[in-house]
Homo-oligomer: A and B are copies of this chain.
Amino acid sequence: MKMTMKEIAKLANVSQSTVSRVINGNTGVNEESAKRVLDVIDKVGFIPNKAAQTLKRSHSHIIGVCITETYNPYFIELIDQLESQARKHGYNILLHNSNHNPIQEWESVQNFISRQVDGMIIVPTGDYNVERISKLSTPSVVITQNRKFLDSVGLDHALAGKIVAEKFIHSGHKSFGFIGTEPDDKYFGYRMALNENGMKLKEENYVQLEESSTNNILMRRDIESYLNQVGNIIDFTCAFAANDIMALEFINAAKDRGISVPEDLNIIGFDDTYLAKIMGISSIHQPIEEMVTTTFELLLNRMENEVSSKPVQIKLKPTLIERNSSNLVRVP
């Protein structure tokens, strides 16, 4: 069942190298023999062994992709783009999930190396491994975030925060909230823009979720506990959520307490996943397709040119997609 070139060669009455030649582009092979080879290949359904090709050519046409989670639908759209654009360029995807675990991340990277991947695309678990990844001879690019040492294509999160802040201010809001895990650029950009406009983000209006709340039971529990803590009285009339799931969960929790969105509370999420689309939640859109396109440009460039120039940091621009949840009705 599993043929080799040698056998094809015998069947077609040519040498193995001729078989190889016709498979790799036909250059300089007599039409007759070429046809004969092609016929045999077709008849027996021969498929060349890529392990051997990889060994010989020392490149595999595989790209290792390591993401941090699959919980957020955002990552699915990312995987989808990655897979389809990779294929467009003639590459396959070896997919790993680090689950936010730096050790697992490093193991994945080692695995990629051992498989002779031609490049890696990584959503890092943090700063843990980026520097040593940058020292490897296999080119990598960070996606979704910006990190030193490596090419990276992310989003201008601070600008996202600013856009949201300005939208809220423009709508006439006076008290603001934030829903997220640890403070990040989104948060800082949001707060700063608020300050610049003479507004303030009160500390008690930071609905802080545990970093580990990457599953809905925990997330909802954290939200409930916040709400109970403030006696079910939400002191803000608008809030920026660090992702769409958080936005949605907060909206649900509020609704259970008779607080309606957008009537009593305006919410803007982040990622603009289909969750936001289905539920009519305003959200900061990340241009995933463009992000992936840019990532491949960088990666393919590094793969082709040995030249190791300085890493570049690309920050794409976020845009606000307005839907019902920030559609001021009677709030302030």
Chain A residues at the B interface, C-beta cutoff of 8 Å = 1-2, 47-52, 54-55, 60, 62, 70-71, 73, 76-77, 79-80, 83-84, 87, 92-97, 110-111, 113-116, 136-137, 216, 245, 248-249, 252, 274-275, 277-280
Known contacts A1-B136, A84-B97, A278 near B47 by CB under 8 Å = no
Partner of A80, one of B47, B97, B252: B97
Please tell me if the beta carbons of B94 and A94 are within 8 angstroms of each other in the complex: yes
Alpha-carbon separation in the docked complex, A115 to B94 (Å)? 12
Please tell me if the beta carbons of B47 and A55 are within 8 angstroms of each other in the complex: no
In the complex, what residues of B have CB within 8 A of residue A87's CB? 96
6 further A-B contacts with Cβ under 8 Å, apart from A52-B55, A62-B94, are A49-B55, A73-B76, A79-B79, A83-B96, A92-B94, A248-B278
Alpha-carbon separation in the docked complex, A252 to B49 (Å)? 51
In the complex, what residues of B have CB within 8 A of residue A115's CB? 50-51, 92
In the complex, what residues of B have CB within 8 A of residue A83's CB? 95-97
Most interface-central of A51, A55, A275 (chain B CB within 10 A): A51
Distance of A42 from chain B, by nearest CB (Å): 13
Alpha-carbon separation in the docked complex, A277 to B215 (Å)? 11
Most interface-central of A79, A113, A274, A278 (chain B CB within 10 A): A278
Partner of A96, one of B49, B62, B92, B275: B92
Q: Which residue of B lies closest to A217 (CB)?
A: B277
Alpha-carbon separation in the docked complex, A8 to B249 (Å)? 55
Please tell me if the beta carbons of A51 and B60 are within 8 angstroms of each other in the complex: yes
Alpha-carbon separation in the docked complex, A87 to B116 (Å)? 18
In the complex, what residues of B have CB within 8 A of residue A52's CB? 55
In the complex, what residues of B have CB within 8 A of residue A70's CB? 76-77, 79-80
Distance of A129 from chain B, by nearest CB (Å): 13
Q: Which residue of B lies closest to A64 (CB)?
A: B92
Alpha-carbon separation in the docked complex, A280 to B52 (Å)? 52
In the complex, what residues of B have CB within 8 A of residue A116's CB? 49-51
Q: What would be 11 A-B contacts, judged by CB atoms less than 8 Å apart?
A: A1-B137, A47-B113, A51-B54, A51-B115, A73-B73, A73-B76, A83-B96, A87-B96, A92-B111, A94-B94, A94-B95
Known contacts A49-B55, A50-B114, A51-B51, A274 near B94 by CB under 8 Å = no
In the complex, what residues of B have CB within 8 A of residue A245's CB? 278
Known contacts A113-B47, A114-B49, A2 near B54 by CB under 8 Å = no
Please tell me if the beta carbons of B51 and A216 are within 8 angstroms of each other in the complex: no
Distance of A255 from chain B, by nearest CB (Å): 10
Alpha-carbon separation in the docked complex, A279 to B48 (Å)? 49
Please tell me if the beta carbons of B216 and A274 are within 8 angstroms of each other in the complex: yes
Alpha-carbon separation in the docked complex, A279 to B97 (Å)? 27
* Leading 8 A-B pairs by shortest Cβ distance: A51-B54, A1-B137, A70-B80, A95-B95, A51-B55, A50-B114, A47-B114, A50-B115
Alpha-carbon separation in the docked complex, A114 to B60 (Å)? 12
In the complex, what residues of B have CB within 8 A of residue A110's CB? 47
Alpha-carbon separation in the docked complex, A96 to B62 (Å)? 12
